[in-house]
Amino acid sequence: EAGVTQFPSHSVIEKGQTVTLRCDPISGHDNLYWYRRVMGKEIKFLLHFVKESKQDESGMPNNRFLAERTGGTYSTLKVQPAELEDSGVYFCASSQRGRTYEQYFGPGTRLTVT
Amino acid sequence: AQTVTQSQPEMSVQEAETVTLSCTYDTSESNYYLFWYKQPPSRQMILVIRQEAYKQQNATENRFSVNFQKAAKSFSLKISDSQLGDTAMYFCAFMKFYGNAGNMLTFGGGTRLMVKP
């Protein structure tokens, strides 16, 4: 069974540009989470999808971040326009319905904004 | 809001020895989970061990065990017979227990562990 995958693994963009990160959860996992770790800080929750619906987006830092999960499968996280402080590693995780205590993480996308 | 604190940014241990990583947390919740995640240099974060707060018995997974002190809000990880493959960043994490509802993890800052040959 394939694990959580994320694309790209590394992205370098200039301030003001747009970047879209993609996460493919484990097949059949209804729950999908986005987290990020900015340099020197803790890993922070961004938002949580249950299928295609946003269950909790309390961690989204501002309206430059837009997350979608079309059809309840893969998810995208778009940053537009990117700022220097958006640099960090963005992690995606997924879990089965009823087993939210078992979150499986992807390898992360390292975003560098210059 | 919950907070998780890992007071040891870096640690090292000799191969085959035992090491303990510390974690404290603050919460007003009575039902919750605690976790230790491991992130090796290859970056994929994996679950090492999970503890349900209502269970008094400390969780154990092979060479990994925890010392869960609920009253003290302490959750340390002991790695016995350390192996080179244990070299990684270790994160302590907290999750409120909401039954079947989805929920987020709150992480500590991490402890970088180096196992030396």
Tens digits of residue pLDDT in B14-35:
999 999 999 999 999 888 999 9
Answer whether residue A100 shows pLDDT above 90: no
Answer whether residue B64 shows pLDDT above 60: yes
Q: Which of A45-54, B42-51, B84-93, B100-109 has the lowest mean pLDDT?
A: B100-109
> Would you say the C-alpha torsion A107, B45, A33, A38 has a positive or negative sign?
negative
The reply to whether B41 touches chain A by the CB within 8 Å rule is no
Distance, in Å, from the CA atom of B22 to the CA atom of B19, rounded to the nearest integer, reads 10
For residue A94, give every residue at least 6 positions away whose Cβ sits within 8 Å of its Cβ, in sequence order, or none.
Answer: A4, A23, A25, A26, A29, A31, A32, A33, A103, A104
Query: CA of B50: which chain A residue's CA is closest?
Result: A101
Q: Which of A33-42, B92-101, B107-116 has the lowest mean pLDDT?
A: B92-101
Measured between alpha carbons, how far is residue A34 from residues A15, A21, A69, A95, B8 in Å? 22, 10, 11, 12, 26
Per-residue pLDDT reduced to its tens digit, A16-58: 999 999 999 999 999 999 999 998 889 999 999 999 999 999 9
Across the interface, of A48, A97, A102, the residue whose CB is closest to B104 is A48
Q: Which of A39-43, A83-87, A89-93 has the lowest mean pLDDT?
A: A39-43
Average pLDDT value for chain A: 94
Q: Which residues of A touch B46 (CB under 8 A)?
A: 105
Q: Which residues of A touch B89 (CB under 8 A)?
A: none
Whether the link from the prior residue into A107 is cis, omega within 30° of 0, is no
- CA of B45, closest CA in chain A: separation in Å? 6
Q: Which amino acid is at A42?
A: E
Q: Which amino acid is at B89?
A: M
Determine, for residues B105 and A97 on separate chains, whether the beta-carbon distance falls below 8 Å: no
Q: What is the pLDDT of residue B105?
A: 95
| Residue B101: both structure tokens together | 């509802």
Chain A residues with a Cβ under 8 Å from any Cβ in chain B? 3, 31, 33, 35, 41-45, 48, 50, 55-56, 59, 89, 91, 93, 95, 97-98, 100-108
Q: Give the HSE-up count for residue A104: Cα atoms under 13 Å, Cβ half-sphere.
A: 20
Determine, for residues A42 and B109 on separate chains, whether the beta-carbon distance falls below 8 Å: yes
Q: What is the pLDDT of residue A72?
A: 85
Distance of CA A35 to the CA centre of its chain: 6
Q: Which residues of B touch A50 (CB under 8 A)?
A: 102
DSSP for residue A81? S
Answer whether residue B99 shows pLDDT above 80: no
Answer whether residue A1 shows pLDDT above 70: no
Whose structure tokens read 């890992």? B6
